[in-house]
A and B are shown apart, each in its own frame.
Chain A
């Protein structure tokens, strides 16, 4: 439990214009997000375990486009009544900076992680958008034994594999999306920060159309643009590093903030990102400052880089991105 003094101090040190709800200070700032390209695919399998195995593998090493090629996550698990083939499944979202890179990542990941996973099948999860290959090229794994079937206007490929056949829809749809929405959770210590972040991520996962691509939905190595080393395009977000509170040229932290966690959100639409951020904020506020997360902020680059600005105070009022 935090002491009243800490809460007071936190509130007292809050930036001008900030709002305090249930003891949690919400900065008058915004998350700056960027246009991305995205797709949704549905993975099904003999049971949920194998669907999850495939989805986890496919969304592995997909935390940041900085070095992973794409950002991906399990949007949600699907019941048998929600999938095209009546089996349990997983809805997976992939985001990348270009359609070409997204198509490349999708094909590689489906080919190596879904085609290989026992009993799986894969389908498009979006109807509208530019078509990109899903099973179109993977079919050649069938070495001529693959079968094409058109069912209700959709083409499926049936590729013979050792457990039967791998069924993949020919294409999925690529759509414009939004990546890089974020929340910064400022806490008094690691336990409080983790607990708050976990609660926020759990609430945010209920929002459809959005994923939190980092491990457990949380990132501890938030970054700023640029570095003192010319070869690096990004470096540690020193303004939010407790280790640098007394050292950094401009720190956002006070002496009582000793751990900061970030939640990054990618969404199919601005509304999805807004809804996820709103759910995250609500979860933290509901826990109250007494739970240890005393302040919520967001990362931006002055508004000059990304066209989507998610103002925290507007989200509190039910509005979306500006």
Chain B
């Protein structure tokens, strides 16, 4: 058994093909010796490659069991997909960009990326926390092709911008987007909360059935399929505002006064809501 709380994998050189890092998870690796970690095979194009050929491996300071298992990945990992896929425990730190499917279907634990990420960040995740300091690609918190539901729980924090269809088919959980959002933000959203501080692209809320969109920055153009309601929502707003304030930036400055509320998309069920602080 390993006596370390985790490992640091430092990229040696860019691989020739895309690498699938699915299954390389903190808790699994923390139970291994350095040799065992080095022999863990991952898919590299159509072949399998040992981690030891891709990364320099070093133990993290600390003793196993004192804190959550941890895995640190250093380097430009934009050719590495499925990092943290299925994560349910432990902490994954990545210093550098990552590829697609970051935290896909994760159930718990934390993933923190110092860089940008590709498509499907937090897709279909059911729990845990993902924080990306850079931008994320399309379909963040979205659903895989053919799947009915996108993000189903947990929290996704994006400090940069998001691509198109962020929150597509999202069913539960919270997305906090500090930057701009691409087209079709919250399209086909079933439930959950998305708070966005930047500008949003076209067709925001297209087919939105339920869920909450909070606009902490520039107010969007309101589509004809969204209408205003005028009830007092200060109680709910206070609960949500206090929760969002934790994320800082524009979210910490949300006004105490209850926001303007729109509901839609009336083309589907009309139970989605947009909150527009004034």
Residues of B within 8 A of A119 (CB): 232
A164: Cβ under 8 A from any B Cβ: yes
- Given A151-B239, A167-B239, is A160 in contact with B173 using a C-beta cutoff of 8 Å? no
Contact B233 A85 (CB under 8 A): no
Chain A minimum-CB-distance residue to B240: A151
Complex CA distance for A97 and B235, rounded to whole angstroms: 33
Q: Which of B234, B235, B240, B271 lies at the interface centre, i.e. has the most chain A CB atoms within 10 A of its CB?
A: B235
Question: How far, in whole Å, are A203 and B98 apart by their CA atoms in the complex?
Answer: 62
Whether the Cβ atoms of B235 and A165 lie closer than 8 Å is yes
Is B231 within 8 A of A85, CB to CB?
Answer: no
User: Would A85 and B238 count as touching, CB distance under 8 A?
Assistant: yes
User: Does B67 sit within 8 A of A, measured CB to CB?
Assistant: no
- Interface flag for B172 (CB, 8 Å): yes
What residue in chain B is nearest A45 (Cβ atoms)?
A: B235
Known contacts A148-B191, A149-B212, A150-B173; A86/B233 CB under 8 A: no
Taking CB atoms, residues of chain A closer than 8 Å to B240 are 149, 151
Smallest CB gap from B271: residue in A: A147
Chain B residue numbers with a CB within 8 Å of A87 are 235, 238
**What is the size category of the interface that chain B forms with chain A?**
20 to 34
One digit per residue, 1 when the CB lies within 8 angstroms of any chain B CB and 0 when it does not, for chain A 247-272 equals: 00000000000000000000000000
Q: What chain A residues lie within 8 Å of B191 (beta carbons)? A: 148
Report the separation of the CA atoms of residues A151 and B238 in the bound assembly, to the nearest whole angstrom. 11
Which residues of chain A are near B192, meaning CB under 8 Å? Answer: 150
Q: Does A84 contact B (CB under 8 A)?
A: yes
Residues of B within 8 A of A158 (CB): 233, 236
Of B193, B210, B239, B271, most buried by chain A (CB within 10 Å of CB) is B239
Flag whether B243 is at the interface (Cβ < 8 A). Answer: yes
Counting CB contacts under 8 A, is A192 at the interface? no
- B236: contacting residue among A145, A150, A156, A163, CB under 8 A: A156
Chain A residue at smallest Cβ distance from B239? A151
Given A147-B210, A149-B193, A156-B236, A165 contacting B231 (CB threshold 8 A):
yes
In the bound complex, residues from chain B placing their C-beta under 8 Å from that of A121 are 235
**Neighbour of B243 across the interface among A147, A151, A163, CB < 8 A:** A151
Question: 1/0 contact trace for B174-205 toward A, CB 8 Å?
Answer: 10000000000000000111000000000000
Interface residues of A in 150-186 (CB under 8 A from B): 150-152, 156, 158, 160, 163-165, 167
The A-contacting residues of B in range 223-262, CB under 8 angstroms, are 231-236, 238-240, 242-243
Q: Mark A119-138, 1 if CB is under 8 A from B, else 0.
A: 10100000000000000000
A47 to chain B, nearest CB (A): 13
Across the interface, which residues of B come within 8 angstroms of A149, CB to CB?
Answer: 193, 212, 236, 239-240
Between A and B, how many residue pairs show CB distances below 8 Å?
52
CB distance from B226 to the nearest CB of A (A): 16
Does A167 lie within 8 Å of B235, measured CB to CB?
yes
Asked if A91 is at the interface of the complex by the 8 Å CB criterion, the answer is: no
Alpha-carbon gap, A151 to B214, bound state (A): 14
- CA A147 – CA B238 in complex, angstroms? 16
Instruction: Assess whether A10 is interfacial by the CB under 8 Å rule.
Output: no
Instruction: Identify which of A44, A84, A150, A160 contacts B231 (C-beta below 8 A).
Output: A160
CA distance A165 to B233 in the complex (A): 7
Contacts of B273 in A (CB 8 A): 147
Alpha-carbon distance A119/B212, docked complex (angstroms): 22
Q: How far apart sit A121 and B233, CA to CA, in the bound complex (Å)?
A: 11
Q: How far is the CB of B256 from chain A (nearest CB, A)?
A: 8
Residues A84 and B239 in contact, CB atoms below 8 Å apart = yes
From A85, A121, A149, A165, residue with most partner B Cβ within 10 Å: A149
A86, A156, A163, most chain B CB atoms within 10 A:
A86
Residues in chain A near residue B236, CB distance under 8 A: 149, 156, 158, 165, 167
Which chain A residues lie closer than 8 Å to B231 at the CB level? 160, 164-165
User: Which residue of A145, A148, A150, A164 is within 8 Å of B233 (Cβ)?
Assistant: A164
Of B174, B210, B232, the contact of A163 (CB 8 Å cutoff): B232
Chain A residues with CB under 8 Å of B235's CB are 44, 85, 87, 121, 164-165, 167
How near does chain B come to A218, taking the closest CB pair, in angstroms? 35
The digit string for B157-182, where 1 denotes a CB below 8 A from any CB of A, is 00000000000000011100000000
A134 smallest CB distance to B (angstroms): 15
Of listed B231, B232, B236, B273, residue having the most chain A CB within 10 A:
B236
Nearest to B272 among chain A residues (CB) is: A147
List 28 A-B pairs, Cβ < 8 Å: A44-B235, A85-B234, A85-B235, A86-B238, A86-B242, A87-B235, A87-B238, A119-B232, A121-B235, A145-B271, A147-B210, A147-B273, A148-B191, A149-B193, A149-B212, A149-B236, A149-B240, A150-B153, A150-B172, A151-B239, A152-B243, A156-B236, A156-B239, A160-B231, A164-B231, A165-B235, A167-B235, A167-B236
Q: Which residues of A contact B (CB under 8 A)?
A: 44, 84-87, 119, 121, 145, 147-152, 156, 158, 160, 163-165, 167
Q: Which residues of B contact A (CB under 8 A)?
A: 153, 172-174, 191-193, 210, 212, 231-236, 238-240, 242-243, 271, 273
10 nearest CB pairs, A to B? A164-B232, A164-B231, A85-B238, A167-B235, A85-B235, A121-B235, A151-B243, A86-B238, A152-B243, A151-B239
Known: A44-B235, A147-B271, A149-B239. 12 other contacts (CB 8 A): A84-B239, A121-B235, A147-B273, A149-B193, A149-B212, A149-B240, A150-B174, A150-B193, A151-B193, A151-B240, A160-B231, A165-B233
